[in-house]
Structure 1
């Protein structure tokens, strides 16, 4: 790559980073991070000085970062910004990638998922529970859910996305009994949700990865099908350890739509209940470790 091309790529990367930071800042209500809203707030979400305060960096320096200035960004500062902006694991990875800096703490838990929500996930077992955002990123899940379709803990954080796994992970794909219907609905709901995030780098990045990795996704995407919400119904999963599971699913919003939602899978019959309890036993005992 020539020096000119390298400089152009760096400029694009800085511009994408600036746009990404602005989009993340504007989506956070002051109340989410313990700040008062006040009466004269005109800026959507947080102000730049508030992000600088939460991140313990200078206001001028953070402003330059959002203006795509040519400044050095350390891993420690990016870590602070990621926490201040409540970035989920995929957004955090994207932040460090755009900044061309190695993440000092890969796999950091999603800051927007409170400890009380994580406690609920643990207490609800053997019911399978996860927390997703509208991009299908898995922000949190309990142990039993982690072994439902594949070993989620064995995957890097950037691959813990239900749509990515449905189109690219053989184990996850095989566990979806009604896979053709499921992936078509997922792509349609993703297209509907993306209409509100069309310029956001993390959404464009996921779409680009899927289009590059899966001809099947490209074919479905070109149909331009849209769906806001699918009707509640029973889902069927073929678990490699305990067999066929018939599960009712329930979606609970953790904040304003279309934000994070908690999804619970409840046994639809006694046979599924017994198999789900068996899956929990195997998970808790460590019998599935390395399987």
Structure 2
């Protein structure tokens, strides 16, 4: 950042092109001494509000902001509760749409649904999945699966799939301990579902990976799909998940589902 970038006069005898400490402090609304101590890593217990002010002054993007919080040893909290559930870029949505007729979705590490293509919406009955949105009004797959009636659940074997999903959630949770959105999701799920609470207490962890899953759909019956997770540059913790029919009968079922839409 230069003085001109923030509407300040460059002044004389500037040895480097960037902002001076006192300028960053002034623009962030903090004292020069306090900001100097922050740069020096002194134990001053920086608050999230002050770190956000510094991040805005320096125009940090999300990975840079997360790194700032990490350096300050403060749990990262987005400026709004739904920052990472606000959707995806048109380019990422274009990738999802181009994958049709294969179902595809973008999840963040909490299993919030950030974007889908039409086949995913057809396969998983969006109306049923969104009838009871998760904490904060965000569409969350785990919340839906643990709170919906068994007859509406698209998973053929909940007792096989749900422990794997919770283990994957727990594997990501370690990087987000103390973040309000994560703590609220875990708390609300534990209160709403004794089964989730039991799985969470087990402490099992698992990374995202390729798996064969069986789903049921009231119009076309059972469908076996191979799920593959792909990370997304510029969206930490988020992934595109694609579902490919595992056999010929499942391919026909997906085709019939799309034709009947």
> Structure 2 length normalisation: TM-score?
0.65
Q: Does 1:164 align with 2:143?
A: yes
Shift of 1:22: 5.6
SS of alignment partner, residue 222 of structure 1: helix
Q: Deviations over 1:33-85 (max 9, x none)?
A: 9xxx8xxx9x727xxxxxxxxxxxxxxxxxxxxxxxxxxxxxxxxxxx65xx9
Shift of 1:243: 0.8
C-alpha change, 1:282 and 1:20, in structure 2 (3 Å) is farther
CA contact (8 A) 1:131 1:260 kept: yes
C-alpha change, 1:268 and 1:150, in structure 2 (3 Å) is same
- Of 257, 260, 282, which aligns to 2:260? 282
Which consecutive residues of structure 2, in runs of 5 or more, have no partner in the other structure?
Answer: 1-46, 70-78
CA contact (8 A) 1:236 1:244 kept: yes
CA contact (8 A) 2:224 2:250 kept: yes
Q: Does 1:179 align with 2:179?
A: no
Greater C-alpha Rg: 2
SS of alignment partner, residue 241 of structure 1: coil
C-alpha change, 1:32 and 1:218, in structure 2 (3 Å) is closer
Q: Deviations over 1:212-245 (max 9, x none)?
A: 1001111111212222344x22111011121111
Instruction: Tell me which residue corresponds to 2:68.
Output: 44
C-alpha change, 1:205 and 1:86, in structure 2 (3 Å) is closer
- Of 111, 128, 150, which aligns to 1:136? 111
- Of 222, 237, 240, which aligns to 1:262? 240
Work out the CA distance in 2 between the residues paired with 1:21 and 1:146: 41
> Structure 1 length normalisation: TM-score?
0.59
Say how many residue pairs are matched.
198
Instruction: Report runs of 4+ in structure 1 exceeding 6 Å deviation.
Output: none
Instruction: Tell me which residue corresponds to 2:211.
Output: 233
Q: Deviations over 1:166-195 (max 9, x none)?
A: 211126863211211211111111112111
CA RMSD of aligned residues (A): 3.3
Shift of 1:264: 0.4
Shift of 1:31: 5.4
Instruction: Tell me which residue corresponds to 1:105.
Output: none
SS of alignment partner, residue 111 of structure 2: coil
Which consecutive residues of structure 1, in runs of 5 or more, have no partner in the other structure?
Answer: 1-17, 46-80, 90-109, 284-291
CA contact (8 A) 2:213 2:225 kept: yes
Work out the CA distance in 1 between the residues paired with 2:50 and 2:158: 36
Work out the CA distance in 1 between the residues paired with 2:199 and 2:175: 20
Instruction: Tell me which residue corresponds to 2:189.
Output: 210
Q: Does 1:201 align with 2:180?
A: yes
Shift of 1:150: 2.5
SS of alignment partner, residue 153 of structure 2: helix
SS of alignment partner, residue 164 of structure 2: helix
Work out the CA distance in 1 between the residues paired with 2:151 and 2:84: 22
